[in-house]
Amino acid sequence: MLLLHRAVVLRLQQACRLKSIPSRIYIQACSTNDSFRPQYPSLTFSADNSSTRGWKVMGTLLGVGAVLAYQDHRCRAAQESTRIYTKEEVSSHTSPETGIWVTLGSEVFDVTEFVDLHPGGPSKLMLAAGGPLEPFWALYAVHNQSHVLELLAQYKIGELNPEDKVAPTVETSDPYADDPIRHPALKVNSQRPFNAEPPPELLTENYITPNPIFFTRNHLPVPNLDPDTYRLHIVGAPGGQSLSLSLDDLHNFPKYEITVTLQCAGNRRSEMTQVKEVKGLEWRTGAISTARWAGARLCDVLAQAGHQLCETEAHVCFEGLDSDPTGTAYGASIPLSRAMDPEAEVLLAYEMNGQPLPRDHGFPVRVVVPGVVGARHVKWLGRVSVQPEESYSHWQRRDYKGFSPSVDWDTVDFDSAPSIQELPVQSAITEPRDGETVESGEVTIKGYAWSGGGRAVIRVDVSLDGGLTWQVAKLDEEEQRPRKAWAWRLWQLQAPVPAGQKELNIVCKAVDDGYNVQPDTVAPIWNLRGVLSNAWHRVHVFVAP
């Protein structure tokens, strides 16, 4: 409403000069779009000299002034010829220099002047710059209110070209042509296969990551599976019975729900690239997300197929229904001891945050292995078997392993290193962003922390001077169960900015309940695949004068 201030004051001045005010005022705004036509109750004024009534009248006048200002703007807009813009024109307006444009429905808005006034902060609004508001408004219900639409209406500059509404055609021979539509907030690391992460300012906005912005790690095209014909094949134990389970069959097993954080082995790989080139996607801090998963316990399903713990080493191998043109499917495995342990809570999940799994996240069924690297959480699960050795999949035997910084691609021996299962302790700063300018006085720092294997995060230390001095951050959200701390801790710190400081070197490091702590620098943990990147996270910011 701050943007209406001048118009409100002018209208109040005009209203105060009136000798009389009708007992009832009816407002009807001019609009070319019914979605922006607010409905107002009639306002009744009565003569009362009490101070309380005086304040009520003043409040009423403020509301009337705002409405009249809005009415004038809409009427003027309706009287002017509507300009038509293409999506390409809108997409070129993404900075203060070019102007910051967004769309809602078929309408185009120039919100350049509003960015700094956005209640959620400029960075949130800038995520939609040059594109539609709908995907971002869908994440926050507060936008679905009439006063928000009224405020936006002030910035309308035209309409989208109707021809832009026609969806582009795709080549049917393209194996990725049937991939699902993704949320525009995601920062894309590769399109084919699709891999993307949420921006840091959205990542820790909620303890539970909304499905549309949950980080996506695909190795192959996304299969489009029919839930009615879907079958999960469980190879039976010797003397046992193999199972062919429909989705309904899985629903007949006892249902369990757990909150689990998934993290890609390559999270924060981009920091290793700064030390020396690595092979892999340039993940920043967003290859990690948290969801509430529901499904059948893997141990219950394996038990029905006749499997039980054995004295010899064994592994549960998973095969997905995603495959490359040669028919090779994605695969991975975990130790049988973990799969059969009810306390490990491994799920064959069919729900994510109370909804059926989205296609990008494994619909109709995926494995969820709490405390273990995301590469073992096989999506679009088609087959489960128990084998004396781990999966022969490329992604189990020839990827997702850690090596010494001295090992290069000429000397690497993948058979010499174990496959990554549990991940080390991790934390990162999500606000402020690197290179941002913060206000003097006090700075608010936010981030996440997590450790693999169910180890609870017990502390996050934050430094404003590159690690010379430290402060302890406040841990938010849910308490963690001993040895079952499957989900992250969000944290924040409000700290005074030292007087006269022009720059801050912010650092964070987490400690888990095994007193494991993050290493201070990247170079000693560098490896040729850029995995297990968990050094102190560093953000350099400037302080406004």
Stated as kind and residue range, the H or E segment containing 123 is: helix 122-126
SS3 of 97, please? coil
Single-letter code of the amino acid located at 93:
H
The yes-or-no answer on residue 508 being catalytic is: no
SS3 of 48, please? coil
3-state helix/strand/coil string of 419-444? CCCECCCEEEEEECCCCCEECCCEEE
Residue length, the chain? Answer: 545
Q: For residue 255, count CB atoms less than 10 angstroms from its CB and return exposed for 0-12, middle for 13-18, buried for 19 or more.
A: middle
Pull the structure tokens for residue 4.
């209406």
Sheet with 232-234: strands ordered across? 243-245, 232-234, 381-387, 315-323, 329-335
The yes-or-no answer on residue 118 being catalytic is: yes
> Could you give the CA distance from residue 466 to residue 426 in angstroms, rounded to a whole number?
18
**Residue 3 to residues 7, 9, 11, 67, 132: CA-CA distances in angstroms?**
8, 11, 14, 13, 22
Active-site position among 37, 143, 383, 394:
143
- Find out whether 463 and 485 touch, Cβ atoms under 8 Å: no
Active-site position among 6, 53, 83, 118:
118
> Could you give the CA distance from residue 365 to residue 361 in angstroms, rounded to a whole number?
9
Active-site position among 183, 217, 455, 529:
217
> Could you give the CA distance from residue 147 to residue 66 in angstroms, rounded to a whole number?
10
> Angle 288-408-450 (CA atoms, 0-180°, nearest 5)?
20
Output phi, psi for 23, to 5 deg: -65, -25
Output phi, psi for 450, to 5 deg: -160, 155
> Could you give the CA distance from residue 503 to residue 464 in angstroms, rounded to a whole number?
9
> Could you give the CA distance from residue 322 to residue 299 in angstroms, rounded to a whole number?
24
Active-site position among 85, 230, 400, 448:
400
Across 165-282, the runs of DSSP E, i.e. the strands, are 187-190, 195-197, 216-217, 232-234, 243-245, 255-263
- Find out whether 330 and 220 touch, Cβ atoms under 8 Å: yes
User: DSSP letter string over 368-404?
Assistant: E-TTB-GGGS-SSEEEEEEESS----HHHHSSS----
The yes-or-no answer on residue 73 being catalytic is: no
Integer-rounded Cα radius of gyration of the chain: 28
What is the set of active-site residues?
A: 118, 143, 217, 264, 400
